Amino acid sequence: MKPLLLIDVDGVLNPMGHPTPDFRRYRCTIDGEVYTVHLNPRHGRRLLELALATGSELVWATTWEHHANDWIAPRIGLPALPVITMDPAGATPSGHGEMFKTPHVAAYAGRRPFVWFDDQVWAEDEEYLRVDQGLADFLLIHVDPIRGLTSRHLGMAHEWLTLTGFSQGS
């Protein structure tokens, strides 16, 4: 089974701090709301390279849901990707303190190994996923929301997928 590379948008591809010059500013209108996002067009190529090198599948794990394919993917050079739906009302808290997206990620991943890039994954999310979800192995990569996704994060994912033997491209 191909491993998954799960990608959040805000705080990961769209940093919340002052973006560096390699980011471009966009205004997106979704359901009548206007959002400003800062995106680095190189992120798409680097994520595609990681997926190819490791035999992984890229998947959106963001509250942008399908809007990520409309607004984010074309601006960073990604094709349309599968989407994990993130209905906050559909998530039942477990008592571990995980964020509302974590049960949706667990349900989607099932027995597939995965790497999850998110600025809101913490020890509580790891505990929830490890304790009773019956999942394959995974790596949560916490991304600093001020800086966003970096080469170090991509390297961590590549190394983990390669060393664990999940990489199908090595």
Name the residue ranges covered by the structural domains of the chain. 4-163
pLDDT at 75 over 90: yes
Share of the chain above pLDDT 90, in %: 79
**What pLDDT does residue 55 have?**
96
Give the pLDDT confidence score for residue 113 in this predicted structure.
95
pLDDT at 92: 63
Judge residue 53's burial from the number of C-beta atoms within 10 Å of its C-beta, 0-12 exposed, 13-18 middle, 19 or more buried.
middle
- Residue with tokens 């805000």, as numbered in its chain: 10
The whole-model pTM stands at: 0.93
169 pLDDT tier (thresholds 50, 70, 90): low
Report residue 93's pLDDT band, with 50, 70 and 90 as the boundaries. Answer: low
Helix boundaries (H) for the chain? 42-54, 67, 73-76, 101-109, 123-132, 151-163
Nearest in space to 82 (alpha carbons), one of 51, 103, 53: 51
Task: Using the predicted structure, report yes or no on whether residue 98 has a pLDDT greater than 90.
Answer: no
Which of 35-39, 136-140, 163-167 has the lowest average pLDDT? 163-167
Average pLDDT, the chain: 92
> 88, exposed or middle or buried, with CB in 10 Å at 0-12, 13-18, 19+?
exposed
Q: Which amino acid is at 153?
A: H
Higher-confidence position of 18 and 59: 59
In this prediction, residue 170 carries a pLDDT of 47
In contact, 126 and 132? CB cutoff 8 Å: no
Structural contact between residues 111 and 136, judged by C-beta atoms closer than 8 angstroms: yes
> pLDDT of 114-139, one tens digit each?
999 999 999 999 999 988 678 889 99
From the options 3.40.50, 3.30.420, 1.10.10, 1.10.1760, give the CATH code of 4-163: 3.40.50
Mean pLDDT of 66-88: 95
> Residue 154: how many CB atoms within 10 A of its CB?
20
